[in-house]
Structure 1
Amino acid sequence: MIEKVGNRKHCYKKITERRLFMPLVCLFIVLLANVIKTPDFFKVSINNGVLYGYTIDILNRGSELIILSIGMTLVTAASGGQDISVGAVMAVAAAVCCQILSGGAVTTNTFENPLIIAILAAFTVSILCGMFNGFLVARLHIQPMVATLILYTAGRGIAQLITKGQITYIRVDNYKILGGYIGSCPVPTPIFAAIMTVIIVFLVIKNTALGLYIECVGINGSASRLVGLNSAMLKFLTYIICSLLAGVAGIVASSRIYSADANNIGLNLEMDAILAVALGGNILSGGKFSLAGSVIGAITIQALTTTLYAMKVSADQLPVYKAIVVIVIVILQSPIFKKYAAGLVSKRAAEGIEGAN
């Protein structure tokens, strides 16, 4: 009996100490609330050749957030800070892409320039934004949140200058594919974009030493330099990757609404991306990271948003309810709560041993 209780305690400890345990628990709680409120939450149907359902909507609407959370994870791990300019970079990338496609017109029904040129230009501008942020953080040693506050403040203004203060509409079916559907495929294209982004970054991290280097720099930059790592360059690189992924998310968001709306594309998504990293069990002060955890965190946030909308919560009231749930989730993942929970388990195990005696 004593051995059984001990094995149970060891098994529980082994499971709960896994990095993805709490993120998955939080996601399960949110999904469970959906099932209680909406019994057909997991129901997926096909209407007019397109998949419909709450789960599809969560993955579709959360695709941009998933892409952003990947870049935010790398920046957080390397620099111990966050890039709060990603939402503005999304708007800038969308503005550049749409302006090139429209040839400077407010509305166009045909591409004035090749789509690939417009997308590459948007990515180039995104990389330049990342280089600017990375230079301030890695070379000038400015606090990440302060450094990226510049583009956070000015980015949407830059996007407005590019679009001349107008919403640029691209009414071409080929442009709508990135945010809609490919041919007769019933799965929304943004889901594929998010999956491909996660796979590419994951393969790069796992098949190269980049992930290990980023963790080393985040844990101790000075020690990393002593063993030959270029800490400044690694931090610089993570900001470039983060902004590039923000550019990808910006193109997807722009294609979804077939326009460049500088005021609304990516609005407040930077905060959700930071929260996704935190909910994924990643330490915001840098060091070890989990891409899978950040993806789970992003899905959890989007599931929460979809849940609140399904419960008829208005857009104005949404932040209040969202904040309350987020506070609960963060507390569940806090070290103090984990220590308290572990103490309860130990106490129950001790009581079980005493009862066995």
Structure 2
Amino acid sequence: MRRLMWPVVVLVLLLALNVFFTPGFFSIEVKDGHLYGSLIDILRFGAPLILVSLGMTLVIATGGIDLSVGSVVAISGALACLLISEEASLFTAVAVALGLCLALGVWNGFLVAGIGIQPIIATLILMVAGRGLAQLITDGQIITVNSPAYKVIGGGYFLTVPFGILIVVAVLAITAFLTRRLALGMLIESVGGNAEASRLAGIRSRGIIVMVYAFAALCAGVAGLMISSNVSSADGNNAGLWIELDAILAVVIGGTSLAGGRFSLGGTVLGALIIQTLTTTIYSIGVPPETTLLFKALVVTAVCLIQSPAFRAKVMRRRGRASPLNPPATAAAPSEAASTPDGVRS
């Protein structure tokens, strides 16, 4: 809980800041049987990022990184929309799209665990090739679909709640159960802490690594379905663009170390909500579009520094040295520093 304190504080401050620029920011109302409000919009539009970040958390926990999730998002939406536009059933389109994403995740895991390629290089291959594949699927065009059933995935509602939020809650609950109620989470952390030691202890580290990359790609695939269904179209060039960087930031803000080992699913969700709330805040306070990315980078940098124990300790140490109540220690007198021939101080 202590690790989550700073992300919670930052999220609360960002939400409070919006009150000054958006009257009724915290108000939630029901219209036509649907929940509406700024908070609901943050959850709804942040749902794809939360999903991608959950998969990224487990990958980073093993000491890896996945730069290809943005391209997988584009591939998933492009393939599903292509199949639906060709009169395929919703089940077929979703199953084929997620199946391809799962295969791509296994490929990433094979390159990392089986061949031994560095994760950043292995996933960079798919990051570049996957974006090209998405554009090949769409033939360089934006595919539009008119499927009410497909629209439900990212833009529909169930029991007044946006369906995308329910998907995130379900995936989060399943992930938390598998990693915190079963031994899987401990195995992932042990592989990230020391892969060789875990292998010698009898843990099949290669299988664990392949599994987390497959899970990350599957989460990205679901996020791609949500993004494309929300706008009823697929754009192979821009869908999911740079979402991998936001996902990495969300994981880091949530307290998971890039070196691997212990991870926090709750912290990741908070990190993703911080990034989405920051995006909403930027538009609320009227930050010029040309400086949006710079403003976002500065805020995220400040958040990471604030929650860094090493940075806080260094700042406090400097304050302690500069305080008049803590004058610098004087050098010991020669007589005090003298020692006897036997080496014992007199």
For residue 170 of structure 2, the aligned residue among 188, 196, 211 is 196
| Whole-angstrom distance in 2 between the partners of 1:320 and 1:345 | 30
1:278-336 deviation digits (Å, cap 9, x = unpaired): 00011011000000000000000000000001112244321011011111101102222
1:99 equivalent in structure 2 = 82
- What is the CA distance between 1:341 and its match in structure 2? 6.7
Whether the aligned pair in 1 keeps the contact of 2:76 and 2:225 (CA below 8 Å) is: yes
Task: State the TM-score, normalized to the length of structure 1.
Answer: 0.86
Would you say 1:145 and 2:99 are equivalent positions? no
1:73 equivalent in structure 2 = 57
1:103-146 deviation digits (Å, cap 9, x = unpaired): 1xxxxxxxx12211111101110011101111111112222111
Would you say 1:187 and 2:167 are equivalent positions? no
| Whole-angstrom distance in 1 between the partners of 2:272 and 2:98 | 23
| Whole-angstrom distance in 2 between the partners of 1:264 and 1:226 | 44
1:34 equivalent in structure 2 = 18
1:211-262 deviation digits (Å, cap 9, x = unpaired): 0000000001111011100111111110000001100101111110111111
Equivalent position SS for 1:19: helix
- What does residue range 153-232 of structure 1 map to in structure 2 within 5 Å? 153-182=128-157, 185-232=159-206
Equivalent position SS for 1:84: coil
1:354 equivalent in structure 2 = none
Measured at CA, do residues 186 and 315 of structure 1 come closer, stay the same or move farther in structure 2, by a change above 3 Å?
Answer: farther
Whether the aligned pair in 2 keeps the contact of 1:44 and 1:55 (CA below 8 Å) is: yes
Quick one: which amino acid aligns to residue 336 of structure 1? Answer: A
Task: State the TM-score, normalized to the length of structure 2.
Answer: 0.88
Larger radius of gyration: 2
| Whole-angstrom distance in 1 between the partners of 2:6 and 2:166 | 26
| Whole-angstrom distance in 2 between the partners of 1:243 and 1:308 | 29
1:248 equivalent in structure 2 = 222
1:72-106 deviation digits (Å, cap 9, x = unpaired): 0000001x231011010011111111111111xxx
Quick one: which amino acid aligns to residue 278 of structure 1? Answer: V
| Whole-angstrom distance in 1 between the partners of 2:17 and 2:228 | 32
Equivalent position SS for 2:144: strand
Would you say 1:114 and 2:89 are equivalent positions? yes
Quick one: which amino acid aligns to residue 59 of structure 2? Answer: V
Whether the aligned pair in 2 keeps the contact of 1:22 and 1:281 (CA below 8 Å) is: no
Calculate the aligned-residue CA RMSD, in Å: 2.0
Q: Which moved more, 1:113-122 or 1:212-221?
A: 113-122
1:44-66 deviation digits (Å, cap 9, x = unpaired): 12334332221111101000000
- What is the CA distance between 1:204 and its match in structure 2? 1.3
| Whole-angstrom distance in 2 between the partners of 1:211 and 1:346 | 40
Equivalent position SS for 1:165: coil
Equivalent position SS for 2:228: helix
Equivalent position SS for 1:40: coil
Measured at CA, do residues 271 and 53 of structure 1 come closer, stay the same or move farther in structure 2, by a change above 3 Å?
Answer: same
| Whole-angstrom distance in 1 between the partners of 2:234 and 2:277 | 26
- What is the CA distance between 1:23 and its match in structure 2? 1.6
1:327 equivalent in structure 2 = 301
For residue 237 of structure 1, the aligned residue among 211, 228, 242 is 211
**Structure 1 runs not aligned, ≥5 long:** 1-14, 104-111, 352-357
Quick one: which amino acid aligns to residue 82 of structure 1? Answer: I
| Whole-angstrom distance in 1 between the partners of 2:181 and 2:92 | 30
Would you say 1:43 and 2:43 are equivalent positions? no
- What is the CA distance between 1:29 and its match in structure 2? 2.3
Equivalent position SS for 1:20: helix
Quick one: which amino acid aligns to residue 149 of structure 1? Answer: L
1:163-212 deviation digits (Å, cap 9, x = unpaired): 222211111211111111236x4322111111111111111112321100
| Whole-angstrom distance in 1 between the partners of 2:290 and 2:237 | 17
For residue 59 of structure 1, the aligned residue among 23, 28, 43 is 43
Equivalent position SS for 1:260: strand
| Whole-angstrom distance in 2 between the partners of 1:92 and 1:229 | 33
Whether the aligned pair in 1 keeps the contact of 2:34 and 2:157 (CA below 8 Å) is: no
| Whole-angstrom distance in 2 between the partners of 1:209 and 1:194 | 23
